[in-house]
Amino acid sequence: MLTARTTGRLATRSSRQAARVTIDGRELVNFGSNDYLALAADPRLADAAAAAAEQEGWGSGASPLISGHGRSHERLEERLAEFEGTQAALVFSTGFAANAGTIAALVGPGDVVFTDRKNHASLLDGCRLSRADVRVNAHGDYEHLEQSLSKAAKYRRRLIVTDSLFSMDGDLAPLCELADLAERHAAMLMIDEAHATGVFGPLGRGVAEHLGVEERVHVRVGTLSKAIGAMGGYVCGSRDLIEWLYHRGRPFLFSTSHPPSVAATCQAAFALLDSPDGEKLIKKLWANTKYFKRLLKKRGFSTGASETPITPIHVGEAAKAFEFSRKLFEAGVYAPAVGYPTVAEGKARLRAIVTATHKRADLEKAADVLAEVGKNLGIV
Ligand SMILES: *Cc1c(COP(=O)(O)O)cnc(C)c1O
């Protein structure tokens, strides 16, 4: 019913992606998407997609290496560089491909890459794919990272990679301290802003903007798949970096570009972000986030270190977390459970994501249902 783990099949949604959805015939308050700004089904974006499909066709033919790319892809990359305030930007078909392909392009044998244990799977896969030596530090153990860095002077290149906003706990990486470390040890710093694009920072650029360290981060990865409501990942930085990826970013070179409609949709999303409507959506997202956390706290739940719309509800044992999620589903709330290996053993939880268009009444109803079901299961 809920995840491959509980029944061997995926939840099937018959409605649009939204703050309320229909899954397996049941109407639910939805906490199971990364659609922070409710753009995934926004009619303005759908119109942009339809217009591009009509003008430029549906498919894009082949990989950029063979076909080049279309005007809408080019315009999106220009728009991204402008949005991020960098010299250039490059779009990959997914955030996963952007991360894995970029790490593999930046380091190789004879180099070393430093990664936090809670980094996203795509960063870890990129580390493995690169064939550089990999040093993993416990989550948030920056002293250990510093020790590892001070032993790494013999390597040709050093690369530190981190999520800027950790996707399972909703906590932030201390990017100022990481930039200090990178500068002290002549390392490159690459950050993955997947959950922060469109969510954090005065202009929605992410945590680096929020903390004022954009200029000190060499490689910034953002995603088009979450708050932007479409799909894809992008890398932004210096022109040299982007030129390098044009020639070395294998998932970019050897994989077909997005349909033009995806690129057009993303442009429309960034135009919206830039407008008063976009500002309103971001404000609502944060107001809902704070409200829901308050409701949960009042009912005795722990949401851990989360400072963001990612709201983990800690349970502990995996079987119990999955049972919790199942019972919530029956009571009208969709809050997927995550267990090992996505998170450490004994750290299973529900992962509830708040969006800009959740209604207050739905958040209240959901908190009450969570409390009632949680009590029956001895969780609160
Ligand atoms: C979702 C996510 C990705 C992958 O992005 P996709 O566009 O879905 O492939 C990468 N990094 C982090 C931290 C993520 O949460």
322 CA from centroid of ligand 1 (Å): 23
Segment 361-370 mean pLDDT: 98
Residues within 6 Å of ligand 1 by CB: 94-96, 99, 120, 122, 163, 167, 192, 194-195, 223, 225, 233
Cβ(220)–Cβ(89) under 8 Å? no
pLDDT digits (tens, 9 = 90+) for 113-170: 999 999 999 999 999 999 999 999 999 999 999 999 999 999 999 999 999 999 999 9
What pLDDT shows up at residue 7?
Answer: 56
**Whether the model pTM is above 0.85:** yes
* Count of helix runs (H) and strand runs (E) in the chain: 15, 13
**Residue found under tokens 């649009």:** 16
pLDDT digits (tens, 9 = 90+) for 209-237: 999 999 999 999 999 999 999 999 999 99
- Kindly list the domain boundaries of the chain, sorted by start residue: 2-30+276-376, 43-273
Residue 110 pLDDT > 90:
yes
Question: pLDDT > 70: what percent of the chain?
Answer: 98
Question: pLDDT > 90: what percent of the chain?
Answer: 91
pLDDT digits (tens, 9 = 90+) for 58-87: 999 999 888 888 899 999 999 999 999 999
**Architecture of the domain made up of 43-273:** 3-Layer(aba) Sandwich (3.40)
Residue 304 pLDDT > 50:
yes
**Architecture of the domain made up of 2-30+276-376:** Alpha-Beta Complex (3.90)
Q: Which of 353, 380, 370, 372 is nearest to 17 (CA)?
A: 353
Cα–Cα distance measured from residue 132 to residue 187, given in angstroms and rounded to the nearest whole number: 14
What pLDDT shows up at residue 4?
Answer: 47
304 CA from centroid of ligand 1 (Å): 22
Cβ(137)–Cβ(144) under 8 Å? yes
